[in-house]
Amino acid sequence: MYRIHLGEFEELILLVVAVMDGNAYGVAVMEALEDQAGRSVNISAVHAALRRLEEKGFVKSEWSEATAERGGRRKRLFTISNAGRLALEQSRDVYIKLWSQIPGFTPNISFT
């Protein structure tokens, strides 16, 4: 089984993209990060992370229709790929495995 390194910030972004289910693009991801994770980052950081994720094959992108508030420019919409989903799951499993081994600390959560 091959392992691909997924940075902490990248993982967060990947999660947000997965949650947004096809509506993820730069500004939206940035705002979601701030709302959901309380992290305020510059738009350029989001772009860079998305680019890296796409290079690694964890997300795919396609152009939307042109929008007025963007001066007639299109949005680049990101969706999570199967490889991305797999990477998230792997990462989650590692966490759970480790959490469960902390003495006297049983996580009371279940994933389906």
Partner 1 sequence: MMSEHPRPPKWADRFLEWYCRPELLEEIQGDAYELFAKRFKNKDLRTARRHFIWDVLRSFRLSTIKHFKIKISPDMMKSNLNIAWRNMAKQKMYAAIKIGGFAMGIAACLLIALFIKDELSYDKHYPNAERIYRIVGINKAGEYAGKGVDFPAPFAKALRTELPEIELVGRINPNTLFTGGGNPIRRPDETQNNYEEGFTFADQEMLDILQIPMVYGDRAHALDEPNELVITKKIADKYYPNENPVGKTLLANDNTNFPLKIGGVIPDFPSNTHLQFDFLFTLKGVNFYPGEQDNWDASNYHTYVLLRPGTNLRQVEQKMFDTAFDKYLAPLFKKNGMSDEAIADVRETIDLELQPIGDVHLYSANIGASIPHSDIRFVWLFGAIALFILIIACINFINLSTARSANRAKEVGLRKVVGSLRNNLIGQFLTESILFSLLSFLIGILLALLLLPYFNQLANKSLHFPWQEWWFVPVLIGAALVVGMLAGIYPAFYLSSFKPINVLKGNLSLGSKNSFMRSGLVVFQFTTSIVLIIGTFIISQQMDFILNKKIGFDKEQVLMLQGTQTLGNQILTFKNRLKQLPEIQNVTVSDFLPIVGAGTKRNGNTFAEEGQSTNIGEGVGGQIWQIDYDYINTLGIKIVEGRNFSPEMPTDSQGVIINQTLAEKLHFDNPIGKRITNGFQNFQVIGVVEDFNFESMRENVGGICLILGNSPTITSIKINTDDMSKSIKNITSVWKEFAPNQPIRYTFLDESYAKMYEDVQRMGRIFSSFAVFAVIVACLGLFALASFMAEQRAKEIGIRKVLGASVPGILRLLTQSFIKLIMISIIIAVPLAWYLMHKWLEDFAYRTPMSWNIFALSGVIVIFIALFTISFQAIRTATGNPVDALRSE
Which residues sit at the interface with partner 1, rule CB under 8 A?
25-27, 42-45, 47-48, 51, 67, 69-71, 73-76
Q: Is 91 helix (H, G, I), strand (E, B) or coil?
A: helix
Closest approach of partner 1 to the CB of residue 95, in Å = 29
- Closer of 39 and 70 to partner 1 (Cβ): 70
Closest approach of partner 1 to the CB of residue 71, in Å = 5
Angle between helices 43-56 and 8-20 (to 10 degrees): 90
Closest approach of partner 1 to the CB of residue 32, in Å = 14
CB neighbours of 55 closer than 8 A, spacing ≥ 6?
none
- Closer of 62 and 93 to partner 1 (Cβ): 62
Closest approach of partner 1 to the CB of residue 61, in Å = 9
- Closer of 18 and 45 to partner 1 (Cβ): 45
DSSP state of 80: E
CA 17/CA 102 separation, integer angstroms: 30
DSSP state of 70: T
